[in-house]
Amino acid sequence: MHSVWTEGVVRREFEPLHGSTSADVVIIGGGLAGILSAYMLKKAGVDVILIEADRICGGITQDTTAKITLQHGLIYDKLIRRFGYSKARLYLEAQIGAIERYAELCRRVPCDYEEKDAYVYATRDREKIERELDALNRLGVRAEFSETEELPLRTVGAVKVAGQAQIHPLKLLFGLAEELPIYEQTKALELAPRRVMTGKGEIKCEKIIVATHFPILNKHGAYFLKLYQHRSYVLALEGTAPLQGMYVDEDEKGLSFRGYQDLLLLGGGAHRTGKKGGNWHELEAFARERYPEARVVRRWATQDCMTLDDVPYIGQYAKATPNLYVATGFNKWGMTSAMISATVLCDLICEKANAYATVFSPSRSILRPQLAVNAFESVLGLITPTTPRCPHLGCALKYNAQEHSWDCPCHGSRFSKTGELINNPATDDKAGM
């Protein structure tokens, strides 16, 4: 169940760390955010090392649909109402800057870069589309209403923004990684001031970036309350009409569409990790009805960290950890969020002013309705008298029959049937089975 990006791509292997070494900055996590951060820091003249517990791009990064767009659902109307026009404008500017940096990088590294129009559609509430159009126009974006004629489902319209993009993510990242000091098969076992302990040595450093998808350090930041994880599923279909745009439903449980070569990548079936959802069955039923001549050639699933207020956490890990940084909570929009993470963290570490740092600060208010939901799920998981249990914080695991895994509904850790760790924040290889 690997994505289309893993097929035929040249993946360089990096040696594990043996013994002790030092660097100005250590990045923990070899996914999109970690590699882009390492690339930018190295470009800025910073002595940086990246360590990855397994293989780079072997986790969530290889399962992205790789749509690069400033449209993150119907986000801008929400941001204006929740935070005001100024912060919404800063959020938008950060996305635009990320898209421009991808365009520049993709001119250097061949990665199937294609400029595309992006659409966020609705199937029921046209007023949502109209409010988002108004919000984007107020913010200076040339957005327009679209009828979405090329989709095989009925909608009440969509917000269209031209000049967005899609890429082959692993071609880009493996190309960038060639120039970086990376250690694979090097697991961070303990973080301490100015050093990272691994299984076969330690790294002395001044600053640390945790880019492990879900932060692995529970002691600071309360990320176990500030985040939850969401699974979604993808089918690669052969035999459909070519798709000209990139599409996503405004409902987080809706469908997404993008093309890749002669394939259609159909996404959906989403649910909170550890809960029941539509998964591949929902996508297969849709494909049988709307693409009866199509054939499924590949399927995979992915997982996203969701924040309390739909804005990622990028910056200082916690107020008490001045030399520890984090990039997490990308809310299903990892492409631009990872690029913004790299830019913001590079500036913070180099002690440069960054206009967007306050927008994404992990220390902003957590008083949001989702906090109560996360707290309830955590308590429920702790008091449920079943085994096996997650070694992260002790919640009861739920069996995922579709993916043959044990999943944690509290914080999203996942384990194989025999207990091997698949997804963090748990760090132990076994689930106590």
Contact present, 141 and 92 (Cβ < 8 Å) = yes
Q: Reply yes or no on domain 228-304 having CATH 3.30.230.
A: no
Residue spans of the domains in the chain: they are 4-64+170-226+309-360, 70-89+110-165, 228-304, 369-423
Q: Three-state DSSP class for 42?
A: helix
Q: What's the confidence (pLDDT) of residue 10?
A: 86
Look at residue 390 in the predicted model and tell me its pLDDT. 85
Element (H, E) at 243: none
Residue identified by tokens 């109560």 is 372
Domain topology for 4-64+170-226+309-360 = FAD/NAD(P)-binding domain (3.50.50)
pLDDT at 39: 98
> How high is the pLDDT of residue 174?
97
369-423 and 228-304 share a CATH fold = no
Low-confidence ranges of the chain (pLDDT < 50): 431
The architecture in CATH of the region 369-423 reads 3-layer Sandwich (2.102)
Instruction: Please answer whether residues 373 and 225 qualify as being in contact, where contact means their C-beta atoms are separated by less than 8 angstroms.
Output: no
Helices (H), 160-215: 169-177
State whether the Cα torsion 267-253-147-118 is positive or negative: negative
